Amino acid sequence: MNISKLLSCFVCAMLLFNCSQKEKSTILSVKNTLDIERSFETVSLNQAFLKVENLNTLGIRDTETGALVISQMVDDNADGVMDAILFQPQVAASSEKHYEIVVISETEQPQSLDYCYSRFVPERTDDYTWENDKVAFRVYGPTAQKMIEDGVPGGTLSSGVDAWLKKVDYPIIDKWYKEFVDGISSYHEDTGEGLDNFHVGVSRGVGGIAIKADDSYHYSKNYIEWKTISTGPIRTSFYLNYEHWDASEKQIKESRIISLDRGSHFSKFSISLEGSTHISAGLTLHEKDGEVTGNDKNGWISYWQPHGDSELGMAIVATQNTFKGFETYNSDQQDLSNAYAHLNVENNKVEYYAGFGWKESGQFKTQQEWEQHLDAFSKMINTPLELSINH
């Protein structure tokens, strides 16, 4: 065989090798069918979808830029094996974006601040607190409840959800609690990063649930168990369990998983509930000086109110199959006035989103901007991004 033939064979072999390599690459297509840009919307990829045995060595590369994107592994069932890889694609309106699933080393994985963070807070009784780059929340545990029941000052008896109003994108939970405990400052006063001046009491706060029976609303006491599931650059999630509670003659069994993703103003509440085929998720009306609005078609209820020297919008959003109307419930008793979204419970499960936007943070200037955001968010949860894989 002469040299030219050898070269020809070598070239053919290389071409076949390159074709084989291309065939082995895994391309993820992310399709946006809406006429709005999609960003900070989390996509979850599991082993079955990707057809791989191990997620730990995978990365996600933008095929346009060639850059690896921020991702997060999650172990949702705490069995020590990662269940999914999360990332947030940026897809223009009515378009499709492609990403390559690649094998990378740990050192190649792009690093990011853990914007999405949550933890149990024993130094402040037994709060459980969570945050991302936009908002922060907290709920109250059994020690805070027992203090109220025993007449000890400083307790809290409420299954409502507190809002911490932040105006910085970095994590503030640990900093605010430490400065509070050390006597440096109080998170009830704004020192430049925001503050907690949101009153909950026995109200539903931002998204606490209730069940209507006999023309009145019933709800649980404080959570009794907690478990952190994940924290990271893209999502924090955790589990809460509640002691069985009564709604008129119904015995209610409730637990929940709450998650919060980077860039979102809304925590996702995934409720497991036995004893009722419906619940109502509420928003406190505080001084009743704001405006309750709602949209049955898009599945949201909102309360926009004056708040301190600023203004605050709160909302409940659910899918069209879950959202079954809304109501403004007024009471002469303190903290019992709430705006409620009525939601269907199917197969002992119900999901909804609850959150807020604070004018002082610069994210929403007007009630109109807030409600436009609710309409857009509704479209996104009712029309998920379409994923397909090409091996």
- Going by their DSSP bridges, the two strands 338-344 and 278-284 should be labelled as antiparallel
Range in 6-20, 160-174, 272-286, 321-335 with the lowest mean pLDDT: 6-20
pLDDT at 19 over 70: no
**pLDDT category of residue 214 using cuts at 50, 70 and 90:** confident
Q: Does 174 lie in the same domain as 264?
A: yes
Model confidence at 201: pLDDT above 70: yes
Please indicate, yes or no, whether residues 142 and 246 belong to a single structural domain of this protein. Answer: yes
C-alpha distance from residue 331 to each of 17, 215, 217, 237, 290 (Å): 74, 12, 11, 34, 15
**Mean pLDDT for the chain overall:** 93
Nearest alpha-carbon partner for 353 in 343, 366, 339:
343
- 3 in a domain, yes or no? no
Question: Would residue 333 count as lying in a domain?
Answer: yes
Which residues lie below 8 Å from residue 98, measured CB to CB, with a gap of 6+?
A: 27, 28, 29, 30, 63, 64
DSSP for 314-329?
EEEE--TTTEEEEEEE
Residue 185 lies in a domain: yes
Rounded to whole angstroms, the Cα distance separating 182 from 188 reads: 14
Instruction: Find, among 366, 365, 360, 364, the residue nearest to 165 by Cα.
Output: 360
Q: Is the Cβ–Cβ distance between 34 and 380 less than 8 Å? A: yes
Assess whether pLDDT exceeds 70 at residue 225: yes
Q: Which of 371, 359, 340 is nearest to 165 (CA)?
A: 359
Look up the CATH number of the domain holding residue 345.
2.70.98
Q: Assess whether pLDDT exceeds 70 at residue 154.
A: yes
pLDDT-derived band at 15 (thresholds 50, 70, 90) equals very low
* Structural domain contains residue 121: yes
Of 57, 79, 111, the position where a domain reaches its end is 111
The DSSP result for 94-123, as a single string, is: TEEEEEEEEE--GGGSPP----BEEEEEGG
Same domain as 362, residue 256: yes
- Residue range 312-349, pLDDT digits in tens: 999 999 999 999 999 999 999 999 999 999 999 999 99
| Residue 95 is assigned to a structural domain of this protein | yes
Q: How many domains does the chain have?
A: 2
Query: For residue 55, is it within any domain?
Result: yes
**Domain of 172?**
117-382
pLDDT tens digits along 54-99: 999 999 999 999 999 999 999 998 899 999 999 999 999 999 999 9
- Same domain for 99 and 123, yes or no, is no
Residues 100 and 127 in one domain: no
Residues 104, 210 within the same domain: no
User: How many residues are given for the chain?
Assistant: 391
Percent of the chain with pLDDT over 70: 94
pLDDT at 20 over 70: no
My answer on whether 179 and 215 are in the same domain is: yes
**Domain end among 65, 95, 111:** 111
| Cross-sheet strand order for the sheet of 323-329 | 216-218, 206-213, 278-284, 338-344, 323-329
Tokens standing for 276? 């009722």
Structure tokens at 69: 């994107």
Nearest to 40 by CA among 389, 336, 373, 361: 373
Give, in degrees to the nearest 5, the angle at Cα 144 between 185 and 340: 95
